[in-house]
Structures are given as C-alpha cells and as structure tokens.
Amino acid sequence: MPPYMPPEITDTIISAVPLDRYPGFRPSRTHTLAMCALVCRAWLPRSRVELFKNIPIREEHTYDLLVERVLHSETMSPYLASVDRLVLHRDRSDPPSKAGRLFFVEFAGKLAGLRTLDVEHIDFTHQRPSVTWPLLLSQFRTITSLTLYNCHFSSFSDVRRLFTALPLLSSLSIDELTWPMVSHEMHLRTTLRPRTFWPELHELHIWNLPPQCAAMLLRWITGALHGSPVKELRCDILDLPSTGSVQEAVDAFVGRVGPSVTDLDIHMTDNVPLSGFIALERFSCHFYESQGSWQGVASVLQGVSSSTIQSITFNSLTQRCHFNEPTYLHFDDDTLEELDHVLSGEPFGRLREFILYVFAAREEDEELLRTHARRCLPELHKQKILSLHIRWI
C-alpha cells in the first residue's frame, strides 16, 4: 500500500462533496471544500475547482469579495473558468443590488464554463442597459439554464434581448417577472422571421406573471419558439382571463408547443385547453385554492387527445373540514367519482398511475380519506393504478 492516497482517488472524493440541501443543518459545502484545500498541497487544485463550481452571491459583501479577491487576482481569476452555476440574489427588503447592476459588465468574458444562472429579486431598472446589453450578454452564450425569479425590467425589450442573447438555453424558468406596459410595446411585431432562437430548449417554466405581461410574453415567445423542441412545460398561463386577444395568445402558444410537450404541469381550472397537447405522457396539476367542481375537472380531462398519457398527478388537494371555503374544490366530495369513469376509458388506456396528494390535519382522518378514494374511484383502485399520499399540516 502506498503511504498516501493517489490523487485520482482524493480528487474523486473531493468532487463528491454534496450540495447543501439543508443550509445550516451541517457545515456547508463551501466550508468543507475550503477545509479540504488546507489539508495539503495535493488537495488544493481539485478543492478550488469544486469550490468555484457553484457560487451563490446573496449579499453585497460576497460580491465585493469575489471581485476583489478573485476577479482582480492573477492567481485566482483562472478559477472563474470552473464556475458552472451562479446565483445572484438579494432580500426583498435590501436596496438595489450592486451585483445586479455590475455583474454582466464586470464578468463579461470571464465565466467560460458558466452553464446555470439563477437571478432572484434583482431590479434591473436601475441599470438601463438597453443599447449595450446584446453585446454584454453575448459574452455569456455558454448558459444553458436560466432562472429569473421576482425580477423587474425597464421594458419588455430588455427581457427580449436577454432571452435571445442566449442561444444554447435548454431550460428557461420565469417567475414573478414584471416590466411597465408601454403603449408601443403592446403592438410588438409577433410574426418573427423563421429562425430557431433556442434549438435545444426542452424545459419551459412560466409562473405568476401579471395578465398583461403574460399575454405580451406569450405573443412574442410563440414566434420565438419556432423549432424549439419543448418537452417539459410548467405554467399557470393557460388559465389567463379569456378575453379575445389574450385567448388568441394562449391558443397560439398551445398550438406552438402542444405537438412536442410530453410533461405538463399546470394550475387546474375548468377552461384549461388540453386538446392541443397531443404527445402528452405525464400530466400534473395543482388544486390549492382551486374553484370549480369535479364535474368540471372531468370535463377538462375529457378534452385530452393524447393516447400516450401514462401518469396523472393531482397536487395540493384539501379537505372540506379544514379548508371550509364553499367555492373551493375539495378532495372529500362525493362527486370525485366523476373522474373514475373518465380515466377508465379512452384515451387513458395506457395510464399506469393516478397519484393524489391530499393535505390533512389529523392522523385519524387517514383511513377515512383512503376509504373515500377507494369508494369514489373503484375502477382505478381495481386496476391498481390509484395512489393516495397524505401530507400532514
């Protein structure tokens, strides 16, 4: 046996230090890797490479240190090429983020390996980068996954420039994005010339946009998705207020992505257009504070045209006794039986699982809920595809 571990073994061990799933529960990944770097000279290179793979910038001090001690350091700056994922974040109560204003300027061309960028609670209206943004963003073309959460822009034009500057996107997530509605942008040209902006875009998530912003985004992105093979769609935009122009935007969007989407995750309403999703294999929907009836849900499911659907999941179902809002849709309603007939027929012949997640407050209710499911959904229970999961609150 050698008196020391071969470097390929220690490198493998260091690379396997897991990400922080529960911050504060144990020493962070950053702390562990920093300690590894101090063990001996042989451990230093791999420890630093792994240390820089994932950089969370959650406060101004962290950003200042990254610029001062890494970006401006001849010995440390080469490690920026190791950055795979970077998070720009600020608390809602903090002043506008310096990182949000300066990051795209100061780090342009420095992050050759950056694949994932998560931007949270950043106000880009203080930056006004409209003219120079395409040039700056072209230095970040390696990004394949972009998440924008609760970000504010000066105009939709800035949003559009950001998206189209990243041609390698395979995952795009948009949540609580806002920009002021300007009259001339309301009439943006939506018929784009045939061009595939994102040839590898497989995942698209759109949540919690104001209706006017959502409609504008849909009108533009429908054309921009030309040639994009979107497989996974998670959104709450299919149930926008059904006014004329908004409904047209939703219909056009579904017409664009429907033929390719295999995984669909939505907020359930009585008017969700499912017939356009002809390749659907997995369907998941959320019912928290949903209004309507099980007859309405059954009617929506009857609109499914895909004969390849294998899995259906209903999330956030509630009990009437604990969420006693008369207009809400509750799991423990006898009209749940409406689903049994629909899901036992066509086009659900390939259905392999029907999963229900129900909120409950008392453990003694568990058997009552399971009995209710078996009584209302006897055919699905008989086929052994019914699965009930209870989440205690």
Nearest CA among 138, 142, 176, 166 for reference residue 224: 166
Q: Is the pLDDT of residue 188 over 60?
A: no
Query: Beta strands 54-57 and 263-267: pairing type?
Result: unpaired
Q: What band does 89 get if pLDDT is binned at 50, 70 and 90?
A: confident
Q: In this structure, how many other beta carbons lie within 10 angstroms of the beta carbon of residue 231?
A: 18
pLDDT at 119: 92
Nearest CA among 194, 269, 271, 260 for reference residue 232: 260
Q: What are the pLDDT digits (tens) for 258-303?
A: 999 999 999 888 778 899 999 999 999 998 777 778 999 999 999 9
Residue 361 CA: distances (Å) to CA of 286, 364, 393: 19, 9, 5
The stretch 96-119 carries a mean pLDDT of: 86
Q: Per 3-state DSSP, what percentage of the chain is helix, strand, and coil (rounded to 5)?
A: 35, 20, 45
Q: What are the pLDDT digits (tens) for 160-181?
A: 888 988 999 999 999 999 999 8
Residue 30 CA: distances (Å) to CA of 19, 79, 272: 9, 15, 44
Q: What band does 40 get if pLDDT is binned at 50, 70 and 90?
A: confident
* Comparison of pLDDT for 277 and 238, the residue scoring more: 277
Which parts of the chain fold into alpha helices (H)?
A: 7-15, 29-37, 44-51, 60-65, 98-106, 133-137, 156-164, 211-224, 244-257, 294-302, 338-343, 366-376, 378-382
The stretch 371-382 carries a mean pLDDT of: 95
Nearest CA among 371, 312, 357 for reference residue 339: 312
Only one residue has tokens 């989440």, namely 391
Q: What band does 24 get if pLDDT is binned at 50, 70 and 90?
A: low
Q: Is the pLDDT of residue 96 over 70?
A: no
Q: What are the pLDDT digits (tens) for 206-236?
A: 999 998 899 999 999 998 998 889 999 999 8
What are the two backbone dihedrals, phi and then psi, of residue 313, each rounded to the nearest 5 degrees?
A: -125, 130
User: Residue 227 — left, alpha, or beta (φ > 0 → left; ψ -120 to 50 → alpha)?
Assistant: left
As given in the structure block, the two tokens for residue 373 are 């499911």
pLDDT at 90: 78
Strand order in the sheet with 171-175: 54-57, 85-89, 116-120, 145-149, 171-175, 203-207, 232-235, 263-267, 282-286, 311-317, 353-360, 386-392
Lowest mean pLDDT among 3-7, 127-131, 262-266, 381-385: 127-131
User: If you average pLDDT over each of 19-28, 46-55, 92-101, which comes out highest?
Assistant: 46-55
* Comparison of pLDDT for 21 and 202, the residue scoring more: 202
Q: In this structure, how many other beta carbons lie within 10 angstroms of the beta carbon of residue 180?
A: 12
Nearest CA among 5, 77, 23, 89 for reference residue 48: 77
